[in-house]
């Protein structure tokens, strides 16, 4: 879990490693390690340890704390594809990508390591091998790199939007078009450290969607992301008045969520397509709906059938 701290007036103009050391009460060497590993950074700007902290900036800390108890393991997390370079898992809901401050549940990385899967040492401390993440409340396919070669190449493919990520989402209401693109910048919402919103000050975000099935009070869509912002699908559909079913954070109808038996957003990472980092062969990995999302969809189809009579 991230912690946001506005740049203190007394530290404006200081080197970033000096400022981080003062803010956390640690040595400058330790502060430099946090900066280099990506656990201490400035929102909206790439910054090195020798860069100067500027007025009005916000420092984000994402520091992995030592756990007093062993991390729980996601034994039900299926491995869908694996070779010497990459492993693709079907992440269940309630599993984080990696350890972070305040998170006490299982993680993809910890569960793979517990199974004896070798993961590259490349990447920030505590999140090595990870080049793309899914929210704790979103299920589906997630790729982790086992080799150094894979980490470098897959990080490039994700950064340059060469990986095709297809999600299925159940959104509230009846979408007007059969297909469309939402292009709107996304940034942190001022009202909460954990919510995001469409804002002119945000980063570019592009979401393409196609209707798969209509139920009147909800629509099942296939979604492709051109960018990979945090909560992108949830924020974009909420911004056009069609929040994801079950997504209380972004305005879902609680009565519909209850009727469908949903305790999280109806969103699943359904398919990953990428060029294999070593062989360069175009590779496609597919998933299927987990039980809670399939149940909600079955209930929605039954409701729609009843209303059509």
- What's the structural domain count of the chain? 3
Same domain assignment for residues 292 and 175: yes
Q: pLDDT at residue 67 above 70?
A: no
Domain that holds residue 75: 64-160
The average pLDDT across 141-164 equals 96
**CA gap 226, 162 in Å, rounded:** 9
Q: pLDDT at residue 3 above 70?
A: yes
Query: Where a domain ends, among 138, 160, 182?
Result: 160
- Higher pLDDT pick, 95 / 63: 95
Average pLDDT over all residues of the chain? 92
Same domain assignment for residues 81 and 179: no
Hunting for tokens 């980063």 — which residue is that?
Answer: 203
Q: pLDDT at residue 206 above 90?
A: yes
- Higher pLDDT pick, 309 / 97: 97
Query: Where a domain ends, among 133, 160, 187?
Result: 160
**CA gap 281, 83 in Å, rounded:** 13
Per-residue pLDDT at 292: 97
Same domain assignment for residues 235 and 110: no
Same domain assignment for residues 33 and 124: no
Structure token pair of residue 300:
């929605």
Same domain assignment for residues 193 and 178: yes
Structure token pair of residue 178:
């059969």
Same domain assignment for residues 169 and 266: yes
Same domain assignment for residues 154 and 29: no
Same domain assignment for residues 188 and 242: yes
The answer to whether the CB of 219 falls within 8 A of the CB of 182 is no
The answer to whether the CB of 88 falls within 8 A of the CB of 82 is yes
Q: pLDDT at residue 66 above 60?
A: no
The average pLDDT across 192-207 equals 87
The region of weakest confidence among 58-62, 88-92, 109-113, 240-244 is: 58-62
Taking the CB of residue 269, how many other CB atoms lie within 10 A of it? 23
Domain CATH code at residue 12 = 3.10.290.10
pLDDT band at 64; cut points 50, 70, 90:
low
Query: Where a domain ends, among 160, 187, 210?
Result: 160
Same domain assignment for residues 268 and 304: yes
Same domain assignment for residues 297 and 193: yes
**CA gap 209, 166 in Å, rounded:** 10
Q: What is the pTM of this model?
A: 0.78
**CA gap 150, 127 in Å, rounded:** 15
Of all residues in the chain, the percent with pLDDT exceeding 70 is 95
Per-residue pLDDT at 70: 80
The region of weakest confidence among 52-61, 71-80, 177-186, 211-220 is: 52-61
Same domain assignment for residues 145 and 218: no
Hunting for tokens 């592009």 — which residue is that?
Answer: 206
Q: Where are the alpha helices (DSSP H) in 108-185?
A: 108-114, 148-159
The average pLDDT across 19-39 equals 86
The average pLDDT across 191-211 equals 88
The average pLDDT across 235-255 equals 96
Domain CATH code at residue 206 = 3.30.2350.10
The answer to whether the CB of 156 falls within 8 A of the CB of 266 is no
Q: Annotated active-site positions, please?
A: 135
Same domain assignment for residues 167 and 308: yes
Per-residue pLDDT at 8: 83
Q: pLDDT at residue 189 above 90?
A: no
Per-residue pLDDT at 48: 92
Per-residue pLDDT at 114: 95
Among 20-34, 97-111, 277-291, top mean pLDDT goes to 277-291
- Higher pLDDT pick, 65 / 30: 30
């Amino acid at each position: 879990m991230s912690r946001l701290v506005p740049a203190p007036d007394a530290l404006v103009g200081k080197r970033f490693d000096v400022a981080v050391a003062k803010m956390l009460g640690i040595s400058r060497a330790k502060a430099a390690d946090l900066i280099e590993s990506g656990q201490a950074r400035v929102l909206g700007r790439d910054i090195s340890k020798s860069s100067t902290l500027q007025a009005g900036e916000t420092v984000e800390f994402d520091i992995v704390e030592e756990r007093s108890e062993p991390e729980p393991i996601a034994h039900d997390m299926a491995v869908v594809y694996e070779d010497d370079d990459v492993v693709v898992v079907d992440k269940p809901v309630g599993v984080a990508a990696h350890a972070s401050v305040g998170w006490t549940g299982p993680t993809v990385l910890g569960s793979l390591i517990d199974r004896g899967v070798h993961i590259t040492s490349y990447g920030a401390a505590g999140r090595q091998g990870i080049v793309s993440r899914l929210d704790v409340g979103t299920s589906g396919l997630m790729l982790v790199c086992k080799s150094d070669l894979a980490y470098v190449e897959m990080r490039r493919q994700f950064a340059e939007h060469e990986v095709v990520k297809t999600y299925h989402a159940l959104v509230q209401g009846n979408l007007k078009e059969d297909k469309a693109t939402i292009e709107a910048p996304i940034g942190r919402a001022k009202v909460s450290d954990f919510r995001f919103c469409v804002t002119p000050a945000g980063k570019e975000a592009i979401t393409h969607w196609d209707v798969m099935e209509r139920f009147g009070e909800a629509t099942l869509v296939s979604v492709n992301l051109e960018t990979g912002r945090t909560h992108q699908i949830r924020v974009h559909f909420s911004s056009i008045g069609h929040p994801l079913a079950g997504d209380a954070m972004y305005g879902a109808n609680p009565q519909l969520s209850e009727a469908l038996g949903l305790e999280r957003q109806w969103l699943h990472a359904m398919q990953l397509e990428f060029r294999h980092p070593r062989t360069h062969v175009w590779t496609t990995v597919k998933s299927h709906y987990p039980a809670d999302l399939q149940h909600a969809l079955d209930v929605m189809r039954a409701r729609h059938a009843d209303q059509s009579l």
